[in-house]
């Protein structure tokens, strides 16, 4: 029982359930590569999933470790595992090193290109944790980290670059940056007091929400172009992908209806639930479109 409790502590540390944000896009990148090569390499599929889990676990744990002092000052985050003393800083560092090492090993088992690029990917996803200390663009660095998912999964199979997974990467970047700006609204006062950088601190609540909406409009436009390009490149895709895009767009619209300048009470519903559904439904329906 003690071991299970310990495992649960680390799963809570990295918010393991939030892997659902980027994983469907990674799987979409993987199956696009399968369409190009005509073979489903089950071993590589398992390695892609493991790379996603290890990379995200390392990034999230590093963020919690790096921000442990800041989190301890913020009433909203003081209950997190490291400032609360549930997990020690030393244990968290060991967990980060373990997951980073496993990520590089799994990337190396995919192909040489993935091995070479894996330290760069780690630099981006771990480096994000520093950015709120010196740039308002921190939300976009987070988006870039998750945008690597469909691109990396495609490279895992093909070891070659292609336009469509890059387009989906741009979709993810704009989507994540937009909803992270919304999420950051709840810490606007604290971040300003601690001289941390965020779009809400720089622009204020109303303008931050406007920028979030603008990014999601650009995200929807890029998604529409990606779907159009996909339809013209792969005859296997049909109407189900457009339905998936419609659901994704509806989720974007819905989350913006939940958050208003004077009412942030539904921000967790907008951030976690709505975006989780958007990613899961879009990825699942688009992949199924190939086989139905």
pLDDT tens per residue across span 133-159 = 999 999 999 999 999 999 999 999 999
Give me the residue spans of the domains in the chain. 2-291
- Cα–Cα dist 26/240, whole Å: 19
> How many alpha carbons fall within 13 Å on the CB side of residue 271?
15
CB 58 within 8 A of CB 52: no
Torsion of CA 31, 121, 215, 203, to 10 degrees: 160
pLDDT tens per residue across span 232-283 = 998 888 899 999 999 999 999 999 999 888 888 888 877 788 998 999 999 9
Quote the CATH superfamily of domain 2-291.
UbiA prenyltransferase (1.10.357.140)
pLDDT for position 9 = 73
CB 31 within 8 A of CB 99: no
This prediction's pTM: 0.95
pLDDT for position 190 = 94
* Selected residue with higher pLDDT from 81 and 20: 81
What is the pLDDT averaged over residues 181-207? 95
Q: Residue 17 — very low, low, confident or very high, per pLDDT cuts 50/70/90?
A: low
């Amino acid at each position: 029982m003690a071991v299970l409790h310990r495992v649960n502590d680390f799963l809570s540390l990295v918010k393991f359930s939030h892997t659902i944000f980027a994983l469907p896009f990674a799987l979409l990148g993987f199956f696009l590569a399968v369409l190009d090569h005509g073979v489903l390499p089950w071993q590589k599929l398992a390695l892609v999933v493991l790379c996603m889990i290890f990379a995200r676990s390392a990034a999230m744990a590093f963020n919690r470790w790096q921000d442990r002092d800041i989190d301890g000052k913020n009433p909203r985050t003081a209950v997190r595992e490291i400032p609360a003393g549930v997990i020690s800083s030393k244990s968290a560092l060991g967990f980060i090193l373990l997951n980073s090492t496993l990520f590089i090993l799994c990337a190396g088992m995919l192909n040489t290109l993935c091995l070479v690029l894996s330290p760069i990917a780690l630099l981006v996803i771990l480096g994000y944790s520093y950015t709120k200390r010196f740039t308002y663009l921190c939300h976009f660095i987070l988006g870039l980290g998750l945008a690597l998912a469909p691109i990396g999964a495609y490279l895992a199979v093909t070891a070659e670059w292609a336009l469509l997974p890059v387009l989906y990467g741009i979709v993810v970047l704009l989507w994540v940056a937009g909803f992270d700006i919304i999420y950051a609204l709840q810490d606007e006062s604290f971040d300003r007091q601690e001289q941390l950088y965020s779009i809400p601190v720089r622009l204020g609540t109303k303008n931050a929400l406007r920028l979030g909406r603008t990014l999601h409009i650009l995200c929807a436009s890029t998604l529409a172009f990606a779907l159009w390009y996909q339809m013209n490149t792969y005859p296997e895709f049909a109407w189900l992908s457009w339905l998936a895009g419609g659901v994704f767009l509806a989720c974007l619209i819905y989350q913006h209806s939940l958050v208003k300048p004077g009412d942030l009470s539904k921000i967790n519903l907008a951030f976690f639930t709505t975006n989780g559904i958007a990613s899961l439904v879009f990825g699942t329906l688009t992949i199924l479109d190939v086989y139905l």
